[in-house]
Amino acid sequence: MSALSGFIKVFYDFGNWLSKMIYLQILWLMFTILGLGLFGVIPATAAVTTVISKWFQEGYDAPIFQVFLHTYKKQFLRSNGLGIVLLVVGAFLYMDLNISKQVIQSAFIHSLLLLIVLLYIVVLLYFFPVFSRYKLKYFQYFKQSFFVAFARPFETIAMLLCILLLYYLFIYLPVLTFFVGASLTIFPITWFAHRAFIQLEEKKLN
């Protein structure tokens, strides 16, 4: 009977977690559209990250809509300003890779560009968790993201592996992309980032 109760509890907890993830996905989609797509996706992503961060800090009873809306409104301009910098850098690197591959065709230059792209990706992975947790000056968010990424390589590698696994999961089950695509992607990134932050903060205190 106790084993059955344990199974029911696990099933209930999973269902509760999944319903929250779907709800976060709906909020992400709605507020991305409200922000006219490009200007909505960055603050909506920051808001989802903040909600999930609250779960890890305070438990899953943290109010979802209130935290999401407050973050979206408060950080709309700031997150967009920083996010546009990331988008511009990403677009520039994408063009450089294409030019390197099709025109320059140098293995050394292409390898160097791939390394820079990898650095860009790990900074991007940590950017939203850092933005949600800390109050920093404008470009310090990028510096802090870079620092945490290489100070905690285990969490960084785990993030990359999770993204790779989710990529294949969404290919085989594309319907999941609509229902939990954003929220499910942000969840493990935020969890590993939270672990990294805790470890670094405790080390700093000792």
Token pair 């672990």: residue: 195
Percentage, residues of the chain above pLDDT 70: 96
* Rounded distance between C-alpha atoms, residue 51 and residue 66, angstroms: 9
What is the average per-residue pLDDT within 64-87? 94
Torsion sign (Cα): 51, 53, 55, 59: negative
- Two structure tokens written together for 102: 């099709």
What pLDDT score was predicted for residue 109?
Answer: 81
pLDDT of residue 102: 76
How many Cβ atoms from other residues are within 10 Å of residue 43's Cβ?
25
What is the mean predicted confidence (pLDDT) over 148-157? 95
pLDDT category at 168 given cuts 50, 70, 90 is: very high
| Total domains present in the chain | 1
Domain ranges, residue 178? 2-205
What would the pLDDT profile of 6-59 be if each residue is shown by its tens digit? 678 778 888 899 999 999 999 999 999 998 888 999 999 999 999 999 999 988
What single letter denotes the amino acid at residue 122?
Answer: V
Q: Is 102 or 118 the better-scoring residue by pLDDT?
A: 118
Amino acid 1: pLDDT = 44
Q: Residue 5: what pLDDT? A: 65
With a cut of 90, say whether residue 105 has pLDDT above it: no
The pTM assigned to this predicted structure is 0.92
Q: Residue 88 — pLDDT band, cuts 50, 70, 90?
A: very high
Q: Give the single-character DSSP code of 30.
A: H
